[in-house]
A = this chain, B = another copy of it.
Amino acid sequence: MTAQFSKYLSSHALSDSDIDRISSLAIPRLLSRNDILLAEGSICRHKTFVVKGMLRIYGTHTDGGEHILQFSPENTWTLDAESYDRQIPSRFNIAAVEQSEVLLWLKADFNQLLAEIPSLKSLSEQLISRSVHNGRQRLLTVLSASPEEKYNDFITEFPALFNRLPLRMIAAYLGMSVKTLTRIRHAQLHR
C-alpha cells in the first residue's frame, strides 16, 4: 500500500530516506463502503492519507440530513482540523464512499515527522493553505451560484468523481435536493 504513497511524496520533492521514515510510522487500514473512520462526537486522533478509494467528510445539521463538505479521493488527505488540533470532539463524520485503503498517523507521530522533516512541514503548510482557499471558493459557489452553475462547476472540477458517486451524495455536496439534481441532469442530457 505504501508504494503509491511513496510515489505521491516523491512527486512532492521528498527524498527517499524521508519517505521511508514517514512510511515507517504509517498505520495501514482497509475500509469497506460506508465504514466510518471518524464519528461525530469522537476525537480525531489521526491524519489520514487516501491511497485508494474515496472518503467523504460530512456534518448533520438540525434538519437531520447529511451535508458533505468534501470528497477525498486517492492521493489526498483528510481530517477534522479542529478536533485534531485541539483534541476535542468532532462535529463531523469521515466515512468511506467506496472500498478504500488509507494510511493513518497518530498525532504525536506526525508532529514528530513535521519537526524532523522540513520538506514535509512545507508540504503540510501548502496543503493547509489550499484547504483554506478551497473552502472559501466552495463557500462562494454555494452562496452565489444557481443550481445549474453548481452542477456545472462540479462536473468541471471533478470529472472523474461524478460516475463514482451516488446521486444523493452529489446532491448533499451541492446543497440541493436529489429531485433538483435529477431535473438539471435531465435538462442537460436533452439539450
A interface residues (Cβ-Cβ under 8 A, vs B): 59, 61-63, 65, 67, 69, 80-82, 85-86, 91-92, 125-126, 128-133, 135-146, 149, 175
Contacts and interface: CB of A to CB of B under 8 A. Distances in A.
A133 to B, nearest CB: 4
A45 to B, nearest CB: 16
Contact of A132 (B67, B135, B137): B135
A93 to B, nearest CB: 12
A100 B140 CA distance: 25
Contacts of A149: 61-62
A27 to B, nearest CB: 23
22 contacts: A61-B140, A61-B143, A62-B144, A63-B145, A65-B144, A67-B143, A67-B144, A69-B139, A80-B136, A81-B132, A82-B133, A85-B126, A86-B129, A91-B137, A128-B128, A128-B129, A132-B135, A135-B139, A139-B142, A142-B143, A143-B175, A144-B175
A10 B72 CA distance: 39
A143 B150 CA distance: 12
A12 to B, nearest CB: 15
